[in-house]
Structure 1
């Protein structure tokens, strides 16, 4: 595969700079599959309630050997192979994660070293479930501006490290995994304008214990007001998703794939309904992967490829949203 990937069918509407594109996609799913029955053994719930509430039937939990660097490297290796790009050609590594318990050194620098990307810079981002789309926008900007030729973008999470196992409100939702893409130059624009916004006034709806106002606990856990997050997703994220399409010049009725953050199946299906993307393939990876935060969108993309549901040149809308509260998203042409 050459560096400049062509998309003969269409080009997205973007102004200024050199064209950028996603060149390859990869993912890593932990070996251990955890069904709803196992989750119910720790919380006061039922398998039927979990599936009705979230759409989730199973998820993956990482074991001690499946660390964030290990999962990130596995996902990145697949993305590099798909792109036909060598690790030595990567100029910048961006890793989005909200569950990295080691704040320094950055996970991105460790990953660059493990991959053999000796000439790359490494930067970590913490934007929760919107982190991947924020990182993808930064990668696209770097390529378009000429400050990097190839950028590796990774979303990696071990949510089981920060979600209290007995928390009935969210323990059934979250899971582990890593996904990655390689961003580089293209013949036409293939990553549309990013639409992003922060809603800090709603920050306590999805937070860690010991946040801005809470006293710091011995072991911080993530907490979520699911109803508030759901309303925000419908009231603010859904209209912004339409703007992501409009800015890229893509009609909702012509979209090929809708790949939102896999928060829960109800949000995913209502988002598609409100956008009117009737012909688009809708990612429902949450059913078998759970909510993997920053890893969910690249993992969902990889699953669509594996199932033969998307093809090179297809348009896909990526929408990340979550803690902060904040969202980010863009329309892309698939590699």
Structure 2
């Protein structure tokens, strides 16, 4: 799924567009015991309650593709009879009306989800009547040919509200506030099947993680049975290794800076594209060459890439560079540079020592205090 397809589904989580037929829930305590289960028609919920659920579902479909939202594919064995994919299809086709399937789903989540406190498993079934589109992109709601039937799961931490004081209007006094259990924004979730090319894609799903560094592989494997995608952190580490292995001891500030400048330029050029910019072995090689990596260093690049990332691997540009910051670090000094002004920093030999030189044409602040720039003494 790309960002346009995700946005199209997110738009359904409003009272006017709601396509949700049923909502089920299971509260789990810190000892993995089911404390409460519910199942009801979504449209029967009070309006204020429905709005809060809409917020949770939207959050489950938020964040950058490839970082918080990851497209996952099902291997062939999971689509065999008795596989996880078949179970999810049965669960979807039951429209959440089968208690045995629901209990099995909750058990799968509880067994594999790692969380030490209470949490709330929310599962919805929805049927989106996909409107057709004219050649100019305008939706034609009376020209729908397909229905996208899907499940969306949100796993939300449940925590006690903070202690404090409250005003009791009835008794006109300040008193100790009653602490209650609050459902927080989702930590993990998924939508199945995927919504690809504005249609149902039963061979894929979209997985959500609040923290990209906390993927919870067991949850993906046991509940979805899908191939584990490469996390944003892993992609970033692989790219660092590619730079270090390619340049070796000849890695210098200018070349590394050029690589990140080239990446940022590519991201800017593709920012309006619905698909995230993915870079394969050939793309990364071109970036290195354009950034001034010496030709002799590129002789074994393809082999290095295959050994480090994999022959057919691709890295998302947004995961391997920072577009909002550029940091230069030594053991004792950290310099933060505006990525658009990397040119202000250069390396230079001064008195036989390798130094970073920063051009200062305006003012300088030291601990938020403006200080005069140092003029050249005559």
Q: Please confirm whether the aligned pair reaches a TM-score higher than 0.5, indicating the same fold.
A: no
The structure that has the greater radius of gyration is 2
Pick the structure with more strand per residue.
2
With normalisation by structure 2, the TM-score equals: 0.21
With normalisation by structure 1, the TM-score equals: 0.23
